[in-house]
Amino acid sequence: MKIAYPVSFEPQPEGGFTVTFPDFPEAITEGDTIEQARFNAAECLSLVLDVRMELEDSIPFPLPSEDVEVVEPDAATQAALLVHLTRESEHKSLSELAYALGSSWPAVKKLENPRHSPTIKQLERAAAVLGKRLVLSFDN
């Protein structure tokens, strides 16, 4: 699964673009050019997801979007959110995941925090316990 959310780029009469996300009403940014707007959109999305995870607010599951432009958060946010959303979809608590990993609750909680950088080995183990496989890629 790849974390990507629908985004809207609205050209402004005075120039530039306003960026909004249907899934996140609080996420609004802009850019003078479409390239700058896309860059700012990814940063804005990452920040909103980070704050929602920190506050333990609800985060909608990213639905596949065809013919709709999407934006992806940064890699640290992707990793934390993938662990969080997968754990929730598998109906596992942090305690259950910690037990299955032979780890502590605080250590496993860090896997869902974008400000802590887990190792690839930690992510692979978490994925395996959740019945998934970690896949990395470089995209354009």
Q: Which pTM was predicted?
A: 0.85
Same domain assignment for residues 67 and 17: yes
Do 84 and 119 lie in a common domain? yes
Reduced to 3 states, what is the DSSP secondary structure of residue 33?
Answer: coil
The residue-averaged pLDDT of 75-81 equals 93
Shared domain for 98 and 116, answered yes or no, is yes
SS3 of 41-93: the string is HHHHHHHHHHHHHHHCCCCCCCCCCCCCCEECCCHHHHHHHHHHHHHHHCCCC
Query: Is pLDDT of 112 > 90?
Result: yes
- Strand 24-31 to strand 70-71: parallel, antiparallel, or no bridges (unpaired)? unpaired
> Looking at residue 32, what is its pLDDT?
97
Decide if pLDDT at 1 tops 80: no
Residues 58 and 94 in one domain: no
Considering only CA atoms, which of 135, 21, 42 is closest in space to residue 86?
A: 135
Q: How many domains does the chain have?
A: 2
Question: Quick check: is 135 in a domain?
Answer: no
